[in-house]
Amino acid sequence: MRVVTCLLASLFILTCGCSKSATTSDGTKVAVTTQGDQAKVEVKTSEGEKATLTTDPAGVTLPENFPKDIPIPTGAKATQTWTSDGGIHVILSTTNSLADTNKFYNDGLKSNGWRISGTFVSDESLVLSAEKGTRQCAITGNKREGETLLSVTVTPERKKE
């Protein structure tokens, strides 16, 4: 939870037009880097928790550890990524319809060994969840001004207890 609070505080710093690094009183390190419209926020707690948020309306690169078994629609652009010990979250923009996006993920996830555990699609929104081993994937989508915005969240592999 502290990582999320630090990320939100860092976003506030960004809106003020500042770029800097700081260490909080509890030892959490926060580094904010900006270049043009791109912003990167890195947080590391004294307990070793890490999180990185990268955002740019023109597009960002998917994290190196983004799972290869989660397909990305052709032509989709990542505009925000957030990685932490708790998983990976990516915001994508595409011109595909929600119905086409739903079919793409249903087919693509199943062909990569995922089990679809729930799905809902309408003219305005999409919600899809899938499981593979101990990982979970959640995909939501909404129409906005001629584009489809997708949120793809994947939890890391967890050891079975």
Same domain, 114 and 149: yes
Same domain, 33 and 67: no
Domain range spanning residue 84? 59-161
Same domain, 82 and 147: yes
Same domain, 64 and 49: no
d(CA 45, CA 50): 7
Same domain, 49 and 71: no
d(CA 3, CA 62): 21
In a structure prediction context, what are the per-residue pLDDT tens digits for the chain, which is 161 residues long? 444 444 444 444 444 455 678 888 888 888 888 888 888 888 898 888 899 999 999 999 999 999 999 999 999 999 999 999 889 999 999 999 999 999 999 999 999 999 999 999 898 999 999 999 999 999 999 998 889 999 999 998 776 65
Q: How many domains does the chain have?
A: 2
Same domain, 67 and 142: yes
Structure tokens that stand for 96 in this block: 């595909």
Same domain, 52 and 63: no
pLDDT of residue 21: 83
Domain boundary among 56, 81, 100: 56
pLDDT of residue 5: 46
Looking at residue 86, its amino acid is: G
pTM: 0.81
d(CA 100, CA 112): 18
Helix (H, G, I), strand (E, B) or coil at 26: coil
Supply the DSSP symbol for 146.
T
